[in-house]
Amino acid sequence: MSQPLEGVVVLDLSRVLAGPWAGQLLADLGARVIKLEHPVRGDDTRGWGPPWLEGEPDVERLAAYYLCANRGKQSLTVDIATEDGQALVHRLAAGADILLENFKVGGLARYGLDAASLRERNPRLIVCSVTGFGQDGPYAHRAGYDFMIQAMGGLMSLSGEPGGMPMKTGVAITDVMTGLYATIGVLAALQERSRTGTGRHIDVALLDVQVATLANQALNALVTGTSPERHGNAHPNIVPYQAFACADGHLVLTVGNDAQFARLADLLGHPEWAEDPAYATNAARVGNREGLVPMIQALLMDRGRDDWLTQLEAHGIPAGPINTLTEVFDDPQVQHRGLRRTLRRDGQVVPQVANPLRFDGEPVTSDIAPPHLGQDSDAILAEMGLTPEDIARLRRAGVVR
């Protein structure tokens, strides 16, 4: 099956998670993604372990963190602080469609590799710059990391138990969402370029993404003029929509409308709740959650989690278990959908999580394992027309590895 981005060439100068996540998505969709890394350090996340994927003694061990965002790419090492390295990037960019980078604002301009310089030679090039705070503004010069942005962008103020410490999410969700927005911007620019013949410089910032994805909570604040409070595992706008304890574990109950609540009330042996003005509508339940939720909690303690989940499903009431990650990958639906993938490289087994997109029923996850540092350098440089002598000279000078 042909892939949507077949023939598209991406230079990925980004590191850590947000930019590489976008690069991996583009690779899954069929683009050729060349990951440009420093010859010695490489991507920071190569060293963000343990845990590690161990290989043969003479093979680079790879951090699990690095493996999550670099599938489908080739690795070319280039020291862009050198003139030879800058010349190589210019040559690559002249024939590329997209360049992803997450240097500090102005960082690439020092090397003549900023968007304006690269697009002067290749006006069709789409440059996507991922930063903490954007290309302008009073914070533009600052570095940005997911944890800090979750704090500054309000997400942590919404997470955690009432009265407890504000909490970050268990995944660097701002980085992941920024990678998704970067991908959307790049795909939109590709579509526009098919009409105009000209690329774009896309500016996407972690703080902007964090604020934009506050969703209903942002509007709760803007409509009322008051900052939402933390509700732990409860929902600020829907009741009952939270975690509950059962006799032997926990489940999440997500009652999304009044008809579902009526069925829940019947299952719990209190059909009268559905007619009670204090609970009949979601607005009433939100206003009276302090009375309703403890009653539901007391009843759920009478049975085990799985027993309740069976009954809830039979009554058409949305609910689910709170799984650990090992339980997630053992789940029959997750297994059926093929979300756990195994790639192989030189006899080494490399676990992956599948891209959730399917086109005409076919998955789009790349079958190329995340690359070792510089594993494709010789092949790419030779493809660019460099001779073995040229490559050897650049390697001796430390420009490539």
Domains and CATH numbers, the chain: 9-213+338-397 (3.40.50.10540), 241-323 (3.30.1540.10)
pLDDT digits (tens, 9 = 90+) for 348-378: 899 999 999 999 999 999 999 999 999 999 9
> Is residue 227 very low, low, confident or very high in pLDDT (cuts 50, 70, 90)?
very high
Catalytic residues: 175
**57 upstream amide cis, omega within 30 of 0:** no
Q: Which class for 175: exposed (0-12), middle (13-18), buried (19 or more C-beta within 10 A)?
A: buried
C-alpha dist (Å) from residue 50 to 38, 45, 322: 22, 11, 26
- Find, among 275, 242, 281, 237, the residue nearest to 258 by Cα: 281
Percent of residues in the chain assigned helix, strand, coil, to nearest 5: 40, 15, 45
Evaluate whether 154 touches 170 at the Cβ level (below 8 Å).
no
Pairing of strands 362-363, 358-359: antiparallel
Question: Which residue has tokens 């996850």?
Answer: 365
pLDDT at 194: 97
Sequential DSSP letters for 26-51 = HHHTT-EEEEEE-TTT--GGGG--SS
Does residue 164 carry a pLDDT above 90? yes
Could you tell me the CA-to-CA distances from 25 to 21, 30, 339 in Å, in that order? 6, 9, 15
Asked whether the bond before 370 is cis by omega within 30 degrees of 0, the reply is: no
Backbone φ and ψ of 100, nearest 5° = -105, 135
Confidence of residue 347 (pLDDT cuts 50, 70, 90): confident
pLDDT > 80? residue 57: no
pLDDT digits (tens, 9 = 90+) for 165-218: 999 999 999 999 999 999 999 999 999 999 999 999 999 999 999 999 999 999
CB 170 within 8 A of CB 177: no
Provide the CA 136 distance to its chain's centre, in angstroms.
24
- Arithmetic mean of pLDDT over the chain: 96
What is the model's pLDDT at position 151?
Answer: 97
Q: Are 52 and 82 in contact (CB under 8 A)?
A: no
pLDDT of 21 > 80? The answer is yes
25: which 2 tokens? Answer: 């998505």
Q: CA-CA distance, 157 to 168, in Å (whole number)? A: 9
The structure's pTM equals: 0.94
The stretch 308-314 carries a mean pLDDT of 97
The two structure tokens encoding residue 15: 């590191």
Residue 59: pLDDT above 80? no
pLDDT at 56: 67
Distance of alpha carbon 92 from alpha carbon 88, whole angstroms: 6
CA nearest neighbour of 200 among 307, 274, 122, 86: 122
Secondary structure (3-state) at 323: coil
Q: Give the pLDDT of residue 401.
A: 86
Q: For every residue of 70-84, which 3-state class applies, written as one string?
A: CCCEEEEECCCCCHH
Residue 311 DSSP SS3: helix
Residue 54 confidence class, pLDDT cut points 50, 70, 90 = confident
Q: Work out whether the CA dihedral 68, 71, 76, 78 comes out positive or negative.
A: negative
Q: What is the DSSP letter of 230?
A: P
